[in-house]
């Protein structure tokens, strides 16, 4: 029987063998393009290092931060889950040009910071490490700008270390109980870390960015490469999975119920089309934070600072300079 006849006869045993070989080849090619062959970046290495990049030891980890010195007030920009200080690349330089002293931190487990094993990655631990880093930098009474998880860290600091916070900007911030994104749920599966490492690749980054951006056309090759490089650092998948597993909203019910106690002047910025943290959470913040203002940005997802940087910069400058801000009204009851 010829090879063609074997292919056309699925019952022939050699046909199954042929199909298996083809499937194996496809699988190997997929692995070659994915995590099985990704080169790991060692701790302490920065691919796009400038004079503004620094490391400092906090606890058991070297934390990476970026500082743009200036004579103006201190502004701290803190990233969210799966992200890093890179998410502020379109915002930080513009704020700095207006005279503000800008700080950007990669929390432990993110960006160019260390990602040690056998350590806690829960939000309370991260918050205390941010506090320790702020102490080393002698930062008090800062304008704290937090996106997603970074916004939750800002809230926890307000409760536990209020001397650190002068004013707050919450950008699509975590802080109430809401339906977790699928990427967070997947981390709870057994063997999530080795599976994530096996299939990790640029295609995963592109899909992830497609969830947090409203306009896919804005997802550039530069964006994909920047996130990809930081997530191929040593133990990056381990850190992401362990943080995701630690996100138990029931543990923070005590803080959720006390949000109304916070009196810090707060600007809430939200992407109307956020698929990760719904707009309803923005409305909850606005209702509970009595000294707050809300601006909703249309046609924008979970990371407005990347998708609508010009709008975010203008809002931040207006807030920092005590200028009027046109608010988004709350929906009718």
The full DSSP string for 279-302 is HHHHHHHHHH-TTEEEEEESS--S
User: What is the average per-residue pLDDT within 193-201?
Assistant: 64
Do 139 and 25 lie in a common domain? no
Domain hosting 19: range is: 3-33
Do 139 and 252 lie in a common domain? yes
187 with 164: CB under 8 angstroms? no
- Structure tokens, 293: 């203002």
- Please state, in angstroms and rounded to a whole number, the distance separating the CA atoms of residues 89 and 237: 23
Is 72 part of a structural domain of the chain?
Answer: yes
More confident residue, 305 or 254: 305
Helix locations, 34-175, DSSP H: 92-97, 123-136, 149-160
Do 258 and 159 lie in a common domain? yes
Coil, helix or strand for 170? strand
Residue pLDDT, tens place only, 93-127 = 999 999 999 999 999 999 999 999 989 999 999 99
Total domain count for the chain? 2
Is 71 part of a structural domain of the chain?
Answer: yes
Is 152 part of a structural domain of the chain?
Answer: yes
Instruction: Determine the distance from the C-alpha atom of residue 330 to the mean position of all C-alpha atoms in its chain, rounded to a whole number.
Output: 27
pTM here is 0.86
Instruction: Name residue, tokens 């997947």.
Output: 186
b/e map 288-301, b = 16+ CB within 10 Å = bbeebbbbbbeebb
Is 328 part of a structural domain of the chain?
Answer: no
Cβ atoms within 10 A of the Cβ of 281, count?
Answer: 22
Do 93 and 17 lie in a common domain? no
Is 44 part of a structural domain of the chain?
Answer: no
How confident is the model at residue 193, as a pLDDT?
59
Is 228 part of a structural domain of the chain?
Answer: yes
Give every CB contact of residue 111 below 8 A, 6+ residues apart in sequence: 64, 79, 83, 84, 85, 86, 230
Give every CB contact of residue 47 below 8 A, 6+ residues apart in sequence: 41, 229
Do 72 and 120 lie in a common domain? yes
How far CA 155 is from CA of 148, 183, 264, 285, 319, in Å, comes to 11, 23, 10, 11, 18
Do 28 and 135 lie in a common domain? no
- Structure tokens, 211: 């969830």
Do 289 and 144 lie in a common domain? yes
Residue pLDDT, tens place only, 210-229 = 999 999 999 999 999 999 99
How confident is the model at residue 291, as a pLDDT?
97
Coil, helix or strand for 228? helix
Residue 30, pLDDT above cutoff 60: no
Residue pLDDT, tens place only, 257-309 = 899 999 999 999 999 999 999 999 999 999 999 999 999 999 999 999 999 99
């Amino acid at each position: 029987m010829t090879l063609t006849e074997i292919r056309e006869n699925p019952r022939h045993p050699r046909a199954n063998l042929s199909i298996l070989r083809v499937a194996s080849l496809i699988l190997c090619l997929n692995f070659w393009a994915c995590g099985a062959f990704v080169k790991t970046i060692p701790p302490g290495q920065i691919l796009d290092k400038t004079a503004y990049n620094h490391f400092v030891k906090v606890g058991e980890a070297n934390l990476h931060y970026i500082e743009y010195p200036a004579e103006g007030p201190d502004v701290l920009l803190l990233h969210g889950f799966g992200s890093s200080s890179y998410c502020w690349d379109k915002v930080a330089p513009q704020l700095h040009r207006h005279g503000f002293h800008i700080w950007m931190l990669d929390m432990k487990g993110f960006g160019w910071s260390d990602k040690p094993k056998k350590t806690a990655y829960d939000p309370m631990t991260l918050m205390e490490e941010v506090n320790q880093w702020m102490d080393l930098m002698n930062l008090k009474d800062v304008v704290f700008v937090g996106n997603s998880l970074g916004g939750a860290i800002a809230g926890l600091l307000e409760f536990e270390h209020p001397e650190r916070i002068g004013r707050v900007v919450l950008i699509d911030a975590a802080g109430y109980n809401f339906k977790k994104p699928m990427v967070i749920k997947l981390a709870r599966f057994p063997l999530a870390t080795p599976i994530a490492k096996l299939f990790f690749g640029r295609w995963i980054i592109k899909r992830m960015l497609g969830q947090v951006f409203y306009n896919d056309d804005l997802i550039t090759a530069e964006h994909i490469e920047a996130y990809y490089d930081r997530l191929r650092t040593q133990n990056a998948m381990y850190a992401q999975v362990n943080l995701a597993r630690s996100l138990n909203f029931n543990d923070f019910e005590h803080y959720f119920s006390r949000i109304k106690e916070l009196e810090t002047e707060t600007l809430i910025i939200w992407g109307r089309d956020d698929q990760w943290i719904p707009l309803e959470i923005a409305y909850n913040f606005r209702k509970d934070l009595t000294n707050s203002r809300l601006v909703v940005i249309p046609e924008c997802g979970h990371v407005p600072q990347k998708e609508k940087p010009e709008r975010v910069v203008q809002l931040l400058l207006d807030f920092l300079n005590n200028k009027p801000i046109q608010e988004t009204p709350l929906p009718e009851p």
